[in-house]
Amino acid sequence: MGVSLIKTENLVYNPALTTLLSIQVPSDCINSTSKCVFTATYEGSVELCYNDTSNNGALTPSPKGYHIVNERCCRNNSIINLDVPGSQGMAIHCYIPPDMVPNNSPSIHVDSIWVGCVNDTSQLPYYINDLDGDSVVVSITSPLNGSNSGAFNPAPQPSNILTWPIPTGVYSNGFSLTSPFGNGSVVDLLANQQVLNLHSTIQGDFSIGIKLYEYRNNILIGIYNREIQLTFLNCSPSNNTPPNLDPNQGISANQTMFSINEGDTLDFDFGLSDTQNDSVFMIYNGLIFDSNYINPPAYISTLSQQNPANTLHNFYWEAPFNSSFNSPFSFKLYVTDSYCDNNLRIIPFIIYVNSNNTFIENKINQFQIHPNPTTGIVELQGINGSFEVDLYNYAGKHLQSTSRSTIDLSDFPNGIYLLKVAYGDKTQELRVVKENIH
């Protein structure tokens, strides 16, 4: 399906803005990459308003926003995850909001050419800046294929028809969006750290797409597609493997999935070791460690370190009520060694939490109000986690709702009040007396 274009424009190459990039080697195991990369700037301007034929050709802004597409011929022939890359054109696309929505598009700073090591999980950092303070969501996508570009046509003339939706690049056999580097691919986007963890088991050049969604007040106002090229090199001997879980210290490598009930405690030890006796380093990440997401959160502590190549840790978590609603919970260990290329292994864990009505009933029967009687402020005791409280007078009139454990009755007249506490799928009714004590 094709769509008509409002405006087309040839971008002009500015040689004065062309620079040679210095490619940073990914490992102390190698000295250079043999890659030669230049950045080039193409410039042009387009008046986005269109000529409205229903209004005598007057320039009129679009009320729906604008799709902007830049097309360029053929990628590097060395790219192996796209089929015949030299014949597949490249497209860069963005959607910007209409004129009545003032906006500065977000910028993403990321290496256009990145080099990592085969059989090692390497990190590609990126940085996003939005001058308007809009929220930006990043995702991995397929590269976009230019519909009017291809081999032997490095600067295609703009066409008045654009294929829509913009087609994606055709992957070579054995590669896909979910496996852009073939079998064993890892493309792990950590948005809270603004980093990509990337892993390939084969050497070569690859291409992936990055898409940004820009939101303002939970409304999508912008979409931005770009592409980066990645190179994986053989950096270290194939027998130098990253650290892993040590079955002689706690759980083994195949014990990373757990199932517990609400109210249960998950408490286990795990060891990490490196078969080449390189020093072991670990960090971890997951919402289960965030008290703003789950309370109480989990935590990991270090129990001992027999030597730099062997460490022992403990995972501890008390699953609160209602945690089954957010099940499963996952977290990842990022384990590196001290070898010259800092081999990294990502170890994922997953925890399933089952509902437990007995636990909820036992907890709700422990609720108490103190002080009772009261002259004003009362506190719900014996309660933790998420709950809702509805306050009624003795005539049954609803007075207020709250999720706080402290309730102020100072502005209400003396009398008997009813608190209905919703905890999980259970409700407990408690009575409190408000009176002036002399």
CATH superfamily of 358-434: Immunoglobulins (2.60.40.10)
Across the range 51-71, mean pLDDT stands at: 83
What is the pLDDT, as a whole number, of residue 218?
Answer: 92
Q: What is the pLDDT of residue 152?
A: 58
Q: What is the pLDDT of residue 384?
A: 65
Spatial separation of the C-alpha atoms in residues 239 and 219, rounded to whole Å: 50
Domains 244-354 and 358-434 share a fold: yes
| Interval 243-258: pLDDT, tens | 999 989 888 878 899 9
CA pair distance 4, 192, nearest whole angstrom: 39
pLDDT tens-digit map of 401-412: 988 888 899 889
| Averaged pLDDT for residues 10-28 | 79
The CATH superfamily assigned to 244-354 is: Immunoglobulins (2.60.40.10)
Q: Of 170-179, 280-289, 302-311, which gets the smallest average pLDDT?
A: 302-311
Q: Stretch 405-430: mean pLDDT, rounded?
A: 85
Question: What is the per-residue pLDDT for 4?
Answer: 54
Residue-wise pLDDT for 309-318, tens only, equals 899 999 999 9
The predicted pLDDT at position 101 comes to 92
What tokens appear for 11 in the block?
A: 């971008």
Per residue in 130-162, pLDDT (tens digit) is: 999 999 999 999 999 876 555 556 666 666 777
For residues 358 and 96, the model is more confident at 96
What does DSSP say about strands 135-141 and 406-408: parallel, antiparallel, or unpaired?
unpaired
Average pLDDT over all residues of the chain: 85
pLDDT at 298: 96
Confidence of residue 359 (pLDDT cuts 50, 70, 90): low
Closest CA to 224 of 70, 424, 422, 48: 70
Confidence class for position 357, pLDDT limits 50, 70, 90: low
Q: What is the per-residue pLDDT across 237-295, written as a single tens digit (0 to 9) for each?
A: 767 788 999 989 888 878 899 999 888 899 999 999 998 888 899 999 999 999 888 98
Query: Is residue 119 pLDDT above 60, yes or no?
Result: yes
Q: Could you tell me if 340 and 31 are in contact, meaning their C-beta atoms sit under 8 angstroms apart?
A: no
- Extended beta strands in 309-405, E state: 310-318, 329-337, 344-354, 368-370, 377-381, 388-393, 398-402
Every domain of the chain and the residues it spans: 2-233, 244-354, 358-434
> What CATH number was assigned to the domain covering residues 2-233?
2.60.40.10
The predicted pLDDT at position 437 comes to: 59
Query: For residue 426, which amino acid is it?
Result: K
